[in-house]
Amino acid sequence: MPLHIDPLHIDVVTLFPQMFAAISECGISGRAFARGQAELQLWNPRDFTTDNHRTADDRPYGGGPGMVMLAEPLAAALGAARARQQGVGVIAPHRVYLSPQGRTLDHALVMELAARPGLILLAGRYEGVDQRLLDEQIDEYISIGDYVLSGGELAAMVVIDAVVRQLPGVLGDADSAQQDSFVNGLLDYPHYTRPEVYRGVSVPAVLMGGNHALIQRWRLQQSLLLTRRYRPDLLARRSMSAAEISLLAECRQDDQPD
C-alpha cells in the first residue's frame, strides 16, 4: 500500500493531553505538525463525564488492586475523535489501543500505519480499560515492548514519532528514512563527522577516499557485523544475499565494526 500524500490525521484519547507537547512541538514530528503534513487532536475523557468530579475510572468488579477506566467517557471521546476525522474525509480511522497484549511495533507495522489516512490512539491508565469498550471500539492492540508503563501516553508518542517521520516530505533528506535501522532488516552502520581525528581515533579511511562503491560496501558490511553482534535474531530471520554472506565471511565472529 503506497503512502498517502494528504495529511495524516491522528487523534489521541488521553487523561494527560499536556504530555503530548513533547511530540507536537519538538523535533521532526513538531515540524511536521506545524507544516500540516500531519494533524494531531487530543481528547480528554474527563471532558465527556457527567458528574461533578469528572470521574473517568472506578473499582474493578471481582476485586483487586487499582482502578479501571470507565467505558462511557472513553466511548464518547472516541466517538468525538471519529466524528472529527469523518468531517475531514477519513471515513474509517484505524482505532488502536496501546497495550503490552498487542502486536509489537516494528518497521513493517510502522509502514502499515503510515499508509493509513487516519489513526485514533487510546492511551489507557490505571489497571486498564473496561473490556467491553475495547471489544466494541478498538481495531488493533499495539505494544512497544514486553514491559509495563504507567500509561499508554509514552507508547502513543513512540507510535506517532515513528509513523510521522515516514510521511512524504517530513525528513529533510528523502533518503534518510530509507537508510534507518530495520528498513532493510539490519541495524544501521556507524556514522562519523568532524573532526577527522577525535581523541586519537581517526575516521575510517574508506569514508575519506571518495569511492562511493567502496563506501556502500563498507557500510553494508558494518551493518551486517553490528546486527550479528547485537541482534543475531534479525539475521536468523533474514534471507541473505550471496554478497552479504561473502561480506560476513571476510570477518571473524569477534571482529569489531571498524
Q: What are the catalytic residues?
A: 100, 127, 165, 180
**DSSP H or E segment with residue 143:** strand 140-143
C-alpha 190/C-alpha 176 separation (Å) is 14
Which three three-digit cell numbers place residue 200? 586519537
Q: Of the candidates 16, 19, 25, which has an alpha carbon nearest to the alpha carbon of residue 47?
A: 16
Q: Of the candidates 73, 67, 123, 72, which has an alpha carbon nearest to the alpha carbon of residue 95?
A: 123
**DSSP H or E segment with residue 80:** helix 71-87
Which three three-digit cell numbers place residue 17? 493531553
Say what angle helices 153-164 and 107-114 make with each other, to 10 degrees.
80
